Amino acid sequence: MNSKRIVLIFAALMVLMANIAAAAPAAKNPPTLSVDGEGIGIATPDRATVTIGVTSQASDAGKAQNDNAWTTEQVNKAIKALGIETKDIQTNNYSFHPNYRTAENHRNEISGYTVNNSIIVIVRDIKQTGKVIDAALSAGANEIHSLDFSAGNTQAVRKEALLKAVQDARDKAEILAKGLGKRIVGIQNVSESTGYLESRRYDNMMLAAAKTAAATTIEPGSLSLTARVHVDYILED
């Protein structure tokens, strides 16, 4: 009898607890406000990378190679004379190929040889960039393939962009919350997406425009990095 009574009491308690739980109001999630923010960090370039080309042509293969090697050496000497270290000068590409006649009855005949040598120069004193280009061209280089400006330390720029993005998100949220008659009381979630510091490139046409009779004028300008954040703010109920 006692065992049956205990079982009945336990069952009754379980039913009672289930009814109480069903009657209790469900936990209410606080209202949230989701916004995106964007910020841009600005950096001053502190390094330039110049790709210089030396192209030589001759009817004899050996002469084409020797001419190119001699001219390339003169270009290297001229650049080093400006204080550029050897470690900042390197060969990027070297090619050698025969040239063929285009006349219909001479299509397979070799008319000469072409040698191309591309040199990458890292200019750490950015004010020397124009002088490096002029020195290379004066020494015999006949092509400037590209010019890129970059910045070495990106941490400060990244921090600047993120802080601006967070502030942008907060400003938007404050405006929206005020319009809704609410007040921000917390943050539920934050995510971010930070880009990279984009280098600034001069192409061949821009370099040609920068060239004057006296000297090549190069303006490094500025570089930018964009950061984006997504913030879920908690509003007062």
pLDDT grade for 72, boundaries at 50, 70 and 90: very high
Q: Is the pLDDT of residue 70 over 90?
A: yes
Average pLDDT over residues 203-231: 73
- Highest mean pLDDT pick, 16-25, 50-59, 213-222: 50-59
Contact 37, 45 (CB under 8 A): no
pTM of this structure? 0.69
Domain ranges of the chain: 47-150
Percent of the chain predicted with pLDDT > 70: 82
CATH superfamily entry for domain 47-150: Protein of unknown function (DUF541), domain 2 (3.30.70.2970)
Q: For residue 10, is pLDDT > 70?
A: no
Decide which of 209 and 57 is more confident.
Answer: 57
* pLDDT at residue number 23: 53
- Three-class SS of the chain: CHHHHHHHHHHHHHHHHHHHHHHCCCCCCCCEEEEEEEEEEEECCCEEEEEEEEEEEECCHHHHHHHHHHHHHHHHHHHHCCCCCHHHEEEEEEEEEEEECCCHHHCCCEEEEEEEEEEEEEECCHHHHHHHHHHHHHCCCCEEEEEEEECCCCHHHHHHHHHHHHHHHHHHHHHHHHHHCCCEEEEEEEEEEECCCCCEEECHHHHHHHECCCCECCCCCCEEEEEEEEEEEEECC
**Predicted local distance difference test score (pLDDT) of residue 13:** 60
**pLDDT band, very low/low/confident/very high, at 29 (cuts 50, 70, 90):** confident
* Mean pLDDT across the chain: 85
Q: What is the rounded average pLDDT of the residues 86-115?
A: 87
Percent of the chain with pLDDT strictly greater than 90 = 63
What pLDDT score was predicted for residue 68?
95
pLDDT at residue 12, as a whole number: 60
Mean pLDDT in residue range 53-75: 94
